[in-house]
Structure 1
Amino acid sequence: MKKILYILALVTFTISCKNEVVEETVKDDGLITVTAEQFKSSGMLVGSPSEQDFDVTVKASGKIDVPPQYRAKITPFIGGYVKATKLLVGDKVSKGQALITLENTEYLDIQKDYVEVAEQINYLKSEFERQKTLYNEKITSQKNYLKAESDYRQAKGMYQGLREKLLLLNINPANVEKGRFTSVITLTSPISGDITVMNANVGMFMSPSDVILEVVDTNYLHLNLSIFEKDILHVKQGQNISFTIPEASKDVFTSKVQLVGKSIENKDRTISVFGVLNPTDKVKLLSGMFVEAGIVISSKKGLGIPIDALITENNKNFVLLLQENKGNYIFKKTLVNIGEKSEQFVEILSNEAINENSKILTKGVFDLTN
């Protein structure tokens, strides 16, 4: 029995000692301790901040957009019921291609009125010319002449107006004059591009205020950014832009400033900046995507550390500063202020705690903070 109790006590003591060792390797009075074995097995590295080249940027945000002339919203000139459509969002269409057909008896009424006026106009023209001749020969009164002229011009105006309506509805006036009436019209695309919006189903009534489809020519995608008034004097045409799509990718894309707005917009006192995109990037991007961007206005040298060495928590930035290396590595989580960023480095603004001689953990930070 005593032997069993002795063994149990020995096991309990051993487990207790192991727990104490684990706690010491993780944390000691706010410091993080890493054994030499852990340091080596995790592939950790320690290094000093070094001088790096950094771009000085103006921060901006905005979206991927297209110029107004390359975005078309398709609405009916006169409302109608959707009869047929075979298109879906994402389909490519060409300029002049049929998009959708609508049906409405109101289209027939316009054609009927057009034919009636067309038939009247020849008679009214002939009467006007007759009254003009009689008036010139002093046979008829000026009143009769002016009335004939008024009737003819009024009919002519109505004829032209109805003709333009038919053309807007894509109905051929020549066919109407031959008695070929139709209650169906076809809406065509005014530009080539991709369908980005489709709001129609067969049987739906679409009024003139309804957007049935939207077509965007993605060959003309560009950056539409907003910068604050205080930065406008630093931004010029031709400057480089780097930007990301934070909701979709971590990739960094490049652009150049194409145009800078000439007036301050909105209540937030911002100015529009437009950037041209690389052709290879356009196929990866979609109209309407939110972007975060930096416009490069100059360059400078600064004290930099690898981006992987930076810890960001609650909008504050830290590094693991080496305090002691006597067998074990002891690090202290140290608050730092950062400046500009490059693809691989982030600028550290030197202070009393961090300088070019400081030793910080540059690789393996993730393993100790997660």
Structure 2
Amino acid sequence: MKKIYIASTLGLFLLSCNNPQPASQQEEASPAPATETVAQADSVQQTDAVSSATNVAKSASYNGVITVPPQRQATVTLTMGGSIHSTNLLPGSYVRQGEVIATLENPEFIQLQQTYLESAAQAEYLEKEYNRQKMLSEQEAASQKRFQQSKADYLSMKSRMDAAAAQLKLLQVDVRQLHDQGIEPYLQVKAPLDGYVTNMKVNLGTYLNAGEPICDIINKGETLLELTAYEKDLDYLQVGSSVEFQVNGMGSQTFEATVITIGQEVDDVNRSLQVYARVKDQNSRFRPGMYVSAKIRKND
């Protein structure tokens, strides 16, 4: 009996040695390699081995486009409609402020000039008659009724002349030249500022109603970056912060800008806001609408 008991005990001991622990228990018992722990820590922050100080990144990346200030771009629209009689413009052409970019045909323009010249001549005559009646009235040599009538006639005609002159001024017509040179058959459309022609929408014979655009003019003397940021980035955004950016299509060349304004309203849909930065050194290759990638450095 003793031999049988010893053999059974020995068999149980050997069976327990051949059954390893479950895999889950082995993983809990085995410590993670030191190299993996260090790698995870580096993904969060880097620690200086001497001072134990952490080095946290102080810049954030943003995407956006090149643009120009509203004061340096203009949409050329018509105060009076008409058909395009002539134009020498091509998209991308450079024009000077006051340069004629197109001429229009419209009989109403001729009538407006005629109205002004006729009312100006009548106003001159009625003014003299009014002054004469005023003098006679003071000397009691004329009736007050006649004096009042001459005054009303003069003021009415002067009002008509002034209204026609104001309309011509909106059309960029100098009424002094109108007196000297007579009626102009075509309305001249002039450039409101120096710049390059874009979005040209006309050709010879095109009829445009009042308020319709002919083209846009862009002055690239000052360019801005329009960057898209998000509300989570507000801690990085400060007026005066330095910006380093690259322009799509211009290789790895980098440029500098400075943040000048930060949007005060967050979009309800994507929670974004616009950030504008002024480019320091202008480049003739810059075009409004070009895609940029930028990094804004947080001020200390």
TM-score for both structures, normalised by structure 1: 0.59
Q: Which structure has greater strand proportion?
A: 1
In structure 1, how many angstroms separate the alpha carbons of the residues matched to 2:273 and 2:151?
56
In structure 2, how many angstroms separate the alpha carbons of the residues matched to 1:213 and 1:151?
44
8 Å contact kept, 2:66–2:288:
yes
- Ranges in structure 2 where 5+ consecutive residues have no aligned partner: 1-38, 48-54
Counterpart amino acid of residue 298 in structure 2:
I
In structure 2, how many angstroms separate the alpha carbons of the residues matched to 1:298 and 1:114?
62
In structure 2, how many angstroms separate the alpha carbons of the residues matched to 1:148 and 1:86?
50
Shift of 1:69: 1.3
Shift of 1:215: 0.9
Aligned residue for 2:58, secondary structure, equals strand
Equivalent residue in structure 2 for 1:87, among 89, 109, 115: 89
Partner in structure 2 of residue 111 of structure 1: 113
Shift of 1:271: 4.2
Higher mean C-alpha displacement, 57-66 vs 87-96:
57-66
Alignment CA distance shift 1:118-1:266 (3 Å): farther
Aligned residue for 1:78, secondary structure, equals coil
Alignment CA distance shift 1:178-1:262 (3 Å): same
Partner in structure 1 of residue 203 of structure 2: 201
In structure 2, how many angstroms separate the alpha carbons of the residues matched to 1:149 and 1:104?
35
8 Å contact kept, 1:89–1:197:
yes
Deviations 1:59-95 (CA, angstroms, capped at 9, x unpaired): 4443211111110111122111111112211111222
Shift of 1:230: 4.3
8 Å contact kept, 1:63–1:225:
yes
8 Å contact kept, 2:231–2:266:
no
Deviations 1:155-198 (CA, angstroms, capped at 9, x unpaired): 22221222233343344434533572222122221211111221
Deviations 1:1-21 (CA, angstroms, capped at 9, x unpaired): xxxxxxxxxxxxxxxxxxxxx
Deviations 1:2-44 (CA, angstroms, capped at 9, x unpaired): xxxxxxxxxxxxxxxxxxxxxxxxxxxxxxxxxxxxxxxxxxx
Task: Report 1:323-342 matches (<5 A).
Answer: none
8 Å contact kept, 2:238–2:299:
no
8 Å contact kept, 1:131–1:148:
yes
8 Å contact kept, 1:232–1:271:
no
Q: Does 1:76 align with 2:78?
A: yes
Equivalent residue in structure 2 for 1:181, among 180, 183, 191: 183
Identity of aligned residues (%): 26
Equivalent residue in structure 2 for 1:131, among 125, 128, 133: 133
Partner in structure 1 of residue 160 of structure 2: 158
Aligned residue for 1:122, secondary structure, equals helix
8 Å contact kept, 1:58–1:296:
yes
In structure 2, how many angstroms separate the alpha carbons of the residues matched to 1:140 and 1:233?
82
Partner in structure 2 of residue 38 of structure 1: none
Q: Does 1:145 align with 2:147?
A: yes
Task: Report 1:169-248 matches (<5 A).
Answer: 169-178=171-180, 180-245=182-247, 248=249
8 Å contact kept, 1:57–1:298:
no
Q: Does 1:254 align with 2:260?
A: no
Larger radius of gyration between Structure 1 and Structure 2: 2
In structure 2, how many angstroms separate the alpha carbons of the residues matched to 1:135 and 1:230?
80
Aligned residue for 1:89, secondary structure, equals coil
- Tell me how many residue pairs correspond in the alignment: 250
8 Å contact kept, 1:98–1:188:
yes
Shift of 1:245: 4.5
Q: Does 1:67 align with 2:60?
A: no
In structure 2, how many angstroms separate the alpha carbons of the residues matched to 1:186 and 1:116?
22
Q: Which structure has greater helix proportion?
A: 2
Deviations 1:130-156 (CA, angstroms, capped at 9, x unpaired): 232233334555554344323322222
Query: What RMSD in Å do the two structures reach over aligned CA positions?
Result: 3.0
Partner in structure 2 of residue 56 of structure 1: 58
Deviations 1:44-66 (CA, angstroms, capped at 9, x unpaired): xxxx9896977433444432111
Equivalent residue in structure 2 for 1:96, among 88, 95, 98: 98
Counterpart amino acid of residue 129 in structure 1:
N
Counterpart amino acid of residue 180 in structure 1:
G
8 Å contact kept, 1:125–1:152:
yes
